[in-house]
Structure 1
Amino acid sequence: MALFSPFEARNKLTQFAWLTNRPAFFVWAILVGVAAAGMTVLFHMAIHWGQLLTGSVPGEIETVVSRWSTTERVLFPVVGGLIAGTLLWLSSKVRKDMNADYMEAVALSDGRLSLRQGALRVLSSLSTVVTGGSIGREGAMVHLGAMIASAIGRFLAFNANDIRLLVACGAAAGVSAAYNAPLAAALFVAEIVLGTLSVTTLGPLIISAGVANITMQLTGYYRVTYDVKPISLAMDASLLLLLALAVVAGLLAPLFLRFLDAVRQLFRKTRLPLPFSLALGGALLGGILILQPAASGNGYGPIEDMLTLSWTIPAVLLMLAYKVLATGATVGSGATGGVFTPMLMVGASVGMLFFQIISLVMPELAAQPSLYILIGMGAFLAAGTHAPLMTILMIFEMTQQINLVLPLMFACVIANVVSSMYSTPAMYGVTLSREQTARLRRQISSMTLKGLVIEAETVLRQNQTLEQAVAMFQAYPVRYIYVIDENDHYQGVLSNQEVTRWLLSQSPLTTPISELMVQPHFIPVLHPDMTLAQGLELFLSFMGERLPVLLSKDEPVLLGVVRKSAILEQLEEQRILQERHQPPQMDFRISGDK
């Protein structure tokens, strides 16, 4: 009996064209949803096994770290950093013929992910998470979902667009399984990664995310992320206070991202190899964990404590400071992961502090600390991600509190607007690229050709002769000469082929140009009020380097010419100027995590 060959199976499957059409794609979206949820369960188990290797009783990261001795709180993050850095170094040596980041694969490429490079990065993230790193652990789970989707798409020989959409489905399923938030997961991928909310793409994303959520429920891994007491919403002045909290979050979120970027720049200046850079970050983290073990992990434990217990202002301030420093040490050193959930933790602290201040100033309005904490989380996250719609749904799905939706709608939008008023470091490189492209398009749509017009040297009047045309073609290596009348009105072009034809017919050199075939519509013409984009579009249909510029359609006075290279140079100059003034990019390779 012949052994089973996956390649033979693929060849047989690819013979059925219906397997890659749109209705069948929803079947693959379902399969990807199940597989991504399975990868999430597997990663949870890997964390469990990793904690056993450290000699700990498995549990929440903060609880595990609190049981470590003082020596272990330094030793484990340092060793974890060395291992994580070594794995990252090895991943950098993998042949880079495919993408390592699912966001770039979907938004900027063909959807093909490097499985070897991705596996090494996921293991690196696992090492950081198990040893107490202050990053979101679910980023690796999302990447695993995207990787398995890419593998399925490549195995079935999908075209590039279908692979991209299938990888997006895998990412949405991973986010859904990680956060128990299927709607927010679909919107996260659509809003941030794909940059579109069209029904064509949103449908498969919702299917994958929903199936992943069902799978997590069937496997017993589903639970409401933040199980808070029912929240009541009063239509009074407290709503205005929540809006003020949104403004504060919108101002502070960019500062948090700037701090992380500054720490990362400091680590880069050390020029340490990745293993030693992450080990140094682990040592700094260990010093913080000696003082506050709850600063480890993704911040889930402290958020739960804030939602259920009473905190003093000094306690919240200390927890906030420790968490920010721990996240800076972990992320700044180069650890793979993201700041999605650490941002929720910082936002919760901001909301708690705001509530405590209100309790001192206006105690009659300070009745529900959980309301301020959750609004602070949503506003801070919306300000950092610039994805308010996704944030509204995510906070709702993580709490199952319908009364939160109305204040979240206002708070997330306001925080996003406030943070957008000044340069904010980009959490995700794809959003930065998309914003740069959109900004460049807006700029070139307002820039005209007027400043690029130069004198036209190859111009003859109708009353000049064939001899003068021959002399001009000999002096200038061009294919066309522009012809004008006595009023400088453009009449068309005279081609070198037309001049050659007249010479071969032995026509007199004194023949006026007006008797030659001047072609008025042979090449496109430009106007000074045209935009760079309009001018470039006309050049795309013309093989030459220059085009004539006329005053207007009604007044076709020849003003000069514009060169294609001048337009391209202007566009490149604008792109370089944008890069110089762009906000820093956090450049997290495994992003969108909890």
Structure 2
Amino acid sequence: MTRSRNILSRLMPRLRKIVGNEQLILSILALTVGAAGGGAVILFRQGIAQVQNLFYGSTGEGLFVHAQTLPWWRILLAPTLGGLLIGLLVYYFLPDRRPQGVADVIEAGALRGGRMSVTTGLKAAVISAVSIGVGASVGREGPAVHLGATLGGWLAKKLRLRRTHSRTLLGCGVACAVAASFNAPIAGALFASEVVVGHYALSAFAPIVIASVTGTAISNVYFGDFPAFTVAEHSIASFWEFPAFAGLGLLAGLLAMAFMRGTVLAENVAGKIPLPPWIRPAAGGAMVGILALMVPQVLGVGYGTTDAALQVSFSLALLIAVGVAKIVATAISLGFGFGGGVFSPSLVIGAMLGGAYGIVVAGLSPELSSGPGAYTIVGMGAMAAAVLGAPISTTLIVFEMTGDYAITMAVMVAVVFASLVTRDFHGGSFFAWQLERRGLDLKGGFESTLLRTLGVRPVMSLVSELVTRDVGLGDLREMLQKSERGELFVVRDNGELFGTITLADLSEVAFDPTVDDLIKAGDVARPRPPVLSAADDLEAALKLMRDTGESYIAVVEDKESMLFLGSIDERDVMSAYNRALLERRREELGG
């Protein structure tokens, strides 16, 4: 293992020497990641099929049709026993004892320089494959994205690539996974740039496109060149219909909010149940099984259900029932700890909403309606865009699935309104919510995200003006008058920070020499000053400086030991930020 690591770490310098062009090297690496990611998606999907076959005796997408032929105990037992297995796997094998997904990829790209653990990625993929196979109401695209990103991030880590190239390879892994899942290379490339990389500079976009196309090609070799769904041709009956599409977008935005808040509620309820964490997925699986006895369409990924809606095979009542049940089942599955994503459930819920809306519109104005099938497609795009926070790539997925420019225009209108509703009234996407639940707010903009990537330790000064507690007042006065910062740090004999002293802290004794022999540093020091730990980032440093009004702050090893390490000044923070900003802009422009 150590030998293979050394070989990989020496590979990049050799490639630079042989090829001589970093962009060409990055393209070769993108091709590698695209091929590996496409193959990984094939294995992942086949793994789901085998688990599903083990528990239900079927490998097909239309699980709900087969489920109607099974005895009730099997439908109830499969997600329950599967949930027990998932709970044990997550509890003992995954970091933080929780499933992994797209939010972890976004976090890695924003805060960890694109590096990811391949061991965690493979474990997470197995757990998600089992979750989907046993019937949990979750999606397979999110886990596929995480798996592809893991491969790209791992390769970047082993080759010791700089941050911008690591994030590009992370994007390559995401792109090939999305493209291989939907047979949509354009959408894969734009999803990676829109959600993970955060820009469309050619230096990053070109390798991402290469990986996306490669992933699609690998997938097509195995599964064939078929779109994800069977979609009939549709045409827009009249441009007067566009207000109806806008209305569908508004409803999709509201339903997306209900879906995301329902997942929050389910997670909160699961956390309050007096059961061990590893048993919670089994409880959630039992609830999903009970729901599936009444509405079998909630089981699994739901592509068969979506296809049935696209073929206008469901009545209005069934569309509404399946839509509501799918929201409840997905919220329970995710909230109680199954692994999986939200892309597929969003498409199913959107299809049910769009189909029901289309039936109502056709009944009110049949001559101006494009039919329920067209509204089903529009609902899918609007709902997925609102939940994922990816309006551009979601629109393109629909376009690549249908090849219909007119329907795509309708999808664009609905996507805009749905995205506006969730942004203004919910605060963002499902992934942003997940990160916020972990205490990570990446919505502060480019500047805040950049500050979070910069640590306090590299910026702090190791040269600080220190005194011990027994230093006399006369010496303190002289040191403060000569001090550049006008502040001294008082430390104990063991190096622990005791407090700080400024001339203002000396107050009335500052220039009274008659008490010089009576007062020591420990007597006048300000105890418990604001401090930063070495593990903090520069955003935390600037926030502390703003909240306390102090521009010069001590840095300690941690806030328990209070071992003094150095100090940090606001000027040092801003200088480090400006250097990082210039470097990031230069990298994005391909410089």
- Give per-residue Cα distances to partners, 1:317-341, cap 9 Å, x unaligned: 1111221121122111011212111
SS at match of 1:329: helix
Tell me the residue number matched to 1:73. 75
- How far is 1:352 from its partner? 1.4
2:256 is the alignment partner of 1:253:
yes
Which residue of 185, 200, 212 corresponds with 2:188? 185
Note if contact 2:389-2:428 (Cα within 8 Å) is conserved in structure 1.
Answer: no
Tell me the residue number matched to 1:85. 87
SS at match of 1:233: coil
Note if contact 2:359-2:371 (Cα within 8 Å) is conserved in structure 1.
Answer: no
Q: Mapping of 1:29-428 within 5 angstroms?
A: 29-54=30-55, 56-60=57-61, 61-92=63-94, 101-424=104-427, 426-428=429-431
- Give per-residue Cα distances to partners, 1:236-268, cap 9 Å, x unaligned: 321221112112222221122111111111111
The residue identity in structure 2 corresponding to 1:436 is K
Question: How large is the Cα RMSD of the aligned pairs?
Answer: 3.8
SS at match of 2:239: coil
Q: Mapping of 1:453-472 within 5 angstroms?
A: none
Q: Give the distance between the partners of 2:38 and 2:484, measured in 1 at CA.
A: 65
Note if contact 1:190-1:196 (Cα within 8 Å) is conserved in structure 2.
Answer: yes
Note if contact 1:91-1:116 (Cα within 8 Å) is conserved in structure 2.
Answer: no
Q: Give the distance between the partners of 1:126 and 1:534, measured in 2 at CA.
A: 42
Q: Mapping of 1:509-548 within 5 angstroms?
A: none
The range that moved more, 273-282 or 101-110, is 101-110
Note if contact 2:386-2:415 (Cα within 8 Å) is conserved in structure 1.
Answer: yes
- How far is 1:481 from its partner? 11
Q: Mapping of 1:412-491 within 5 angstroms?
A: 412-424=415-427, 426-429=429-432, 433=440, 435-438=442-445, 479=483
Q: Give the distance between the partners of 2:94 and 2:366, measured in 1 at CA.
A: 55
The residue identity in structure 2 corresponding to 1:76 is A
- How far is 1:434 from its partner? 6.1
Note if contact 1:81-1:127 (Cα within 8 Å) is conserved in structure 2.
Answer: no
**Measured at CA, do residues 132 and 474 of structure 1 come closer, stay the same or move farther in structure 2, by a change above 3 Å?**
same
**Measured at CA, do residues 474 and 82 of structure 1 come closer, stay the same or move farther in structure 2, by a change above 3 Å?**
same
- Give per-residue Cα distances to partners, 1:258-302, cap 9 Å, x unaligned: 111111111111153332100000000110111121111122112
The residue identity in structure 1 corresponding to 2:60 is G
Q: Give the distance between the partners of 1:401 and 1:210, measured in 2 at CA.
A: 21
The residue identity in structure 1 corresponding to 2:264 is D
Note if contact 1:84-1:123 (Cα within 8 Å) is conserved in structure 2.
Answer: no
SS at match of 1:421: helix
- How far is 1:533 from its partner? 8.4
Tell me the residue number matched to 1:500. none
Q: Give the distance between the partners of 1:544 and 1:251, measured in 2 at CA.
A: 46
- How far is 1:186 from its partner? 1.5
The residue identity in structure 2 corresponding to 1:16 is R
- Give per-residue Cα distances to partners, 1:524-562, cap 9 Å, x unaligned: xxxxxxxx989989xxxx9799xxxxxxxxxxxxxxxxx
Note if contact 2:253-2:386 (Cα within 8 Å) is conserved in structure 1.
Answer: yes
- Give per-residue Cα distances to partners, 1:106-140, cap 9 Å, x unaligned: 22203222222222221111111111110002322
2:14 is the alignment partner of 1:16:
yes
**Measured at CA, do residues 383 and 13 of structure 1 come closer, stay the same or move farther in structure 2, by a change above 3 Å?**
closer
SS at match of 2:57: coil
- Give per-residue Cα distances to partners, 1:209-252, cap 9 Å, x unaligned: 11111121222344112222211123432122111211222222
SS at match of 1:304: helix
The residue identity in structure 2 corresponding to 1:6 is S
Note if contact 2:91-2:97 (Cα within 8 Å) is conserved in structure 1.
Answer: no
Q: Give the distance between the partners of 1:400 and 1:73, measured in 2 at CA.
A: 38
**Measured at CA, do residues 473 and 353 of structure 1 come closer, stay the same or move farther in structure 2, by a change above 3 Å?**
same
Q: Give the distance between the partners of 2:482 and 2:245, measured in 1 at CA.
A: 69
Tell me the residue number matched to 2:493. none
**Measured at CA, do residues 481 and 139 of structure 1 come closer, stay the same or move farther in structure 2, by a change above 3 Å?**
closer
- How far is 1:25 from its partner? 0.7
- How far is 1:403 from its partner? 2.0
Unpaired runs of 5+ residues, structure 2, are: 452-473, 487-502, 504-540, 555-567, 574-591
Unpaired runs of 5+ residues, structure 1, are: 445-469, 483-494, 496-531, 546-562, 569-594
- Give per-residue Cα distances to partners, 1:474-523, cap 9 Å, x unaligned: 696673799xxxxxxxxxxxx9xxxxxxxxxxxxxxxxxxxxxxxxxxxx
Note if contact 2:139-2:343 (Cα within 8 Å) is conserved in structure 1.
Answer: yes
- Give per-residue Cα distances to partners, 1:27-66, cap 9 Å, x unaligned: 1101111111111111122123223433613212334433
Note if contact 1:66-1:294 (Cα within 8 Å) is conserved in structure 2.
Answer: no
Q: Mapping of 1:493-504 within 5 angstroms?
A: none
**Measured at CA, do residues 64 and 108 of structure 1 come closer, stay the same or move farther in structure 2, by a change above 3 Å?**
farther
Tell me the residue number matched to 2:465. none
**Measured at CA, do residues 564 and 85 of structure 1 come closer, stay the same or move farther in structure 2, by a change above 3 Å?**
same
Q: Give the distance between the partners of 1:481 and 1:82, measured in 2 at CA.
A: 60
Q: Give the distance between the partners of 1:434 and 1:346, measured in 2 at CA.
A: 27
**Measured at CA, do residues 166 and 367 of structure 1 come closer, stay the same or move farther in structure 2, by a change above 3 Å?**
closer
The range that moved more, 214-223 or 55-64, is 55-64
